[in-house]
Structure formats: C-alpha cells, structure tokens
Chain A
Amino acid sequence: NAGVTQTPKFQVLKTGQSMTLQCAQDMNHEYMSWYRQDPGMGLRLIHYSVGAGITDQGEVPNGYNVSRSTTEDFPLRLLSAAPSQTSVYFCASSLYPRWEQYFGPGTRLTVT
C-alpha cells in the first residue's frame, strides 16, 4: 500500500492564481480530511469528508473548495490564492473504529 499520497510537495503561486492540491489513499478509508499547519497554531481542519459525495467544512474553510467523487481521491482547490494561504497542507484519512489518522507527506505552499 502507498498509504496517503499528496502532490505536489512544493508549490509557489502568485496572488490570485488558482490550483488544486491532490490527495489519494489506497486503504479504502471512508474519512478524509485536509489540514493546514501554521507556526504556533498546530494543525487546523479545512474540510473533511465522511464518504464519497459527502463533504463538510472544518475550522478554516474560507478560500478552499473540496469534492469527493471517489473513495480514493479528495482534492483541495484554492480558488484565488492569497498570501494568508501560505502554509503547509496535510491530507489525512482514517477508518472507523480505530480512528487514527494516516497523514500524507504534506505540501508546502507559498503565495507571493
């Protein structure tokens, strides 16, 4: 199993550009999530999904969109990048009943 994969690992965007961060898992996990990590603030939940076709907002959803058309994939879209979205982004998946999250390697995004 590859586990949770994320692409790209690094990305630089200009303000106003859009892009999609890709996330895939091959463990047949129902639950998938996106987090952002900023210094001194831990990881904050952006969006999550409890299964294909079902998504919901987390703590900091503004400026981001998600969709979940398959169990395996959960892409995160930045609609119009802003410098405040400079961060490290993690995708994670988990499965009932143990609930521990399996994390991808992260994407470091810089918006100039």
Chain B
Amino acid sequence: AQTVTQSQPEMSVQEAETVTLSCTYDTSESDYYLFWYKQPPSRQMILVIRQEAYKQQNATENRFSVNFQKAAKSFSLKISDSQLGDAAMYFCAYRSGDAGGTSYGKLTFGQGTILTVHP
C-alpha cells in the first residue's frame, strides 16, 4: 500500500517570503500522480498543483511550484511571495495510475501541514 508522509506539522513564513513544504511517499508503482491541496479555515479542499510521475519537468502554477524527485520519492511545494491568503492546511496526496492495480481510483493523503503567514 502507498503511504504519504508530511513531516512538518506546522510551518510559518513572513509575508512576501518563500516557504517550502515537504512531502515524501512510498510506492512500488511507476505510474502515478501527485497533488498538493490547500484547505483554508472554510474547510473547502482546493487543488493547488498537480504532477504526473512520468513527467520530469516540475509543475508550476503562478507562485506555487514543486520539486519532484522521483528516485528519492520526494514532492515538496514551494510558495513564493507568500500572501496572507496562503495561510491554510496543506495536504500532499498520491494517486495510482495503474489501471490494473488494486489501488486504482484511490487517493492517499498525508497528515497535513498547517501554514501560518505573518504580516
């Protein structure tokens, strides 16, 4: 079974600074997808960024980028020019891409990292 680990329960950053959230995962599969989700106090889960394992290029979405290290099974999220609205719980998630596997269709989440942004 796949596991996702976020080793930082809490992180903080000053407004306009850069912060990196860590995520590691364990899998024996070669075809999979990785995601970062943001959960603000409203409780709504919002997709931040998505990465396909077969793509070597790191995904970017505006101020958000990832450092995907497939061999190391690491998937960190970098937030540049942090804003007060970035304060939230952030979840890393894994999804199998193996259509013939028992994990197909399942999304596995890490425990989450609470990000605080100081003005």
> Hey, which bits of chain A sit against chain B, CB under 8 A?
31, 33, 35, 40-45, 48, 50, 56, 58-59, 88, 90, 92, 98-101, 103, 105-106
Contact = CB atoms under 8 A, between A and B. Distances in A.
A40 B112 CA distance: 7
16 contacts: A31-B105, A33-B106, A33-B107, A42-B4, A42-B109, A44-B109, A50-B104, A58-B106, A92-B45, A98-B50, A99-B50, A99-B95, A100-B50, A101-B35, A105-B43, A106-B43
Nearest to A4: B45
Nearest to B99: A96
A103 B91 CA distance: 13
Contacts of B47: 100-101
B76 interface: no
A44, A92, A101 interface centre (most CB from chain B within 10 Å): A101
Given A40-B111, A59-B106, 5 more contacts: A35-B107, A45-B107, A99-B33, A99-B50, A99-B95
B24 to A, nearest CB: 14
A58 B109 CA distance: 13
Contacts, number: 53
B43 A56 contact: no
Interface of B: 4, 9, 33, 35, 43-45, 47, 50, 91, 93, 95, 97, 104-112
Given A43-B91, A99-B95, A88 B43 contact: yes
B32 to A, nearest CB: 10
Nearest to B32: A99
B118 to A, nearest CB: 24
A40 to B, nearest CB: 6
Nearest to A58: B106
A42 B114 CA distance: 11
Nearest to B106: A45
